Amino acid sequence: EAAVTQSPRNKVAVTGGKVTLSCNQTNNHNNMYWYRQDTGHGLRLIHYSYGAGSTEKGDIPDGYKASRPSQENFSLILELATPSQTSVYFCASGTGGYEQYFGPGTRLTVL
Amino acid sequence: AQKVTQTQTSISVMEKTTVTMDCVYETQDSSYFLFWYKQTASGEIVFLIRQDSYKKENATVGHYSLNFQKPKSSIGLIITATQIEDSAVYFCAMREGGTGGYKVVFGSGTRLLVSP
C-alpha cells in the first residue's frame, strides 16, 4: 500500500476561503515536509516537522500554516487562500534527514 | 544559503544510450548530502540515489550512477542503457549536514525524453 497519502487529490477553492490539505504516512518517519511545485521552480519547501507537535518554516512559509498532531499526520493550512497559491502540493516523509518518500500530490486551484 | 542549479531544461536521447544530467550546488557546509529524484508523467516522485559528501566513491544503484566532483560542486546523474520508461523529469537536491535541521533544496529539474 502507499506509505504517504494525501487528501484531497484535487481541490478548487475561492479566494479568501480556508483550505486544509492533509497528509498521512505509515512509514513511522519522524520528519515530514510540505512542498509546492510550480513550473520552472522545481519543489519549494513550505513547512516541515521533526515530529508530533513540531513545525518549522521552510523557504516560502508566508500565507501557510502547518500542524503535526501525531507522528502520522501533517496538515497544511491556507487561512485566506489567494490565486497565487494555485499549485500542486506534495507531502513527503523521511528519517534522519536522508531520502524522502513523497505522496501523490494535491492539485489546488484558487479562483 | 544552499542552492541547487540544473541548467539543462530538457534532453532527448535514443533508447539504450547513456545520458548525463548536470547539477551544481552551493553550500557553506563541509558536510552535506546530495540526492536525485525522478518524477514520472503521472506526477509520482521517487528517490533514486544519494551521495554523501564525505564519500569519495561515486554512488551506483542499478543503471543509475553519480559523477561526484567535489572541487567543482558538481553532482551529475548518469543513466546507462536508457529505456523508454526512463522518460521523466529528474530533480537534483541537497541537504546540508548541520544540526540546524533537515531542510532540502531542490533544483528546477531536467526533462529527459528517451525515444525508440
pLDDT in tens, B20-38: 999 999 998 888 999 999 9
Q: Do B104 and A100 touch (CB under 8 A)?
A: yes
CB atoms within 10 A of CB A107: 15
Interface of chain B against chain A, CB under 8 Å? Answer: 6, 33, 35, 37, 43-47, 50, 91, 93, 95, 101-109
Which of the residues B29, B31, B54, B104 would you substitute to probe the A interface, choosing the one with the greatest number of A C-beta atoms within 10 Å? Answer: B104
C-alpha cell belonging to residue A80: 485566506
- Residues B15 and B85: their CA atoms lie apart, in Å, by 10
Reading phi first (left if > 0) and then psi (alpha if -120 to 50, else beta), residue B108 is in alpha
The full DSSP string for B37-101 is: EEE-TT--EEEEEEEETT--SPPEETTEEEEEEGGGTEEEEEE-S--GGG-EEEEEEEEE-STT-
Nearest to A15 by CA among A87, A83, A99: A83
Q: Do B108 and A31 touch (CB under 8 A)?
A: no
- Residues A56 and A67: their CA atoms lie apart, in Å, by 10
* B85 compared with A40, residue with greater pLDDT: B85
Is the pLDDT assigned to residue A2 strictly greater than 70? Answer: no
Q: What is the DSSP letter of A62?
A: T
Q: Do A102 and B46 touch (CB under 8 A)?
A: yes
Helix (H) or strand (E) holding A39: none
- Residues B20 and B24: their CA atoms lie apart, in Å, by 13
Q: Do A58 and B103 touch (CB under 8 A)?
A: yes
CB contacts of B111 in chain A (<8 Å) are: none
From the centroid of its chain, how far is CA A108? 11
**pLDDT tens, B60-90?**
999 999 999 999 999 999 999 999 999 999 9
Of A40, A48, A101, the CB nearest to B102: A48
Residue of B nearest to A57 (CA): B103
The proportion of chain A whose per-residue pLDDT surpasses 90, expressed as a percent, equals 84
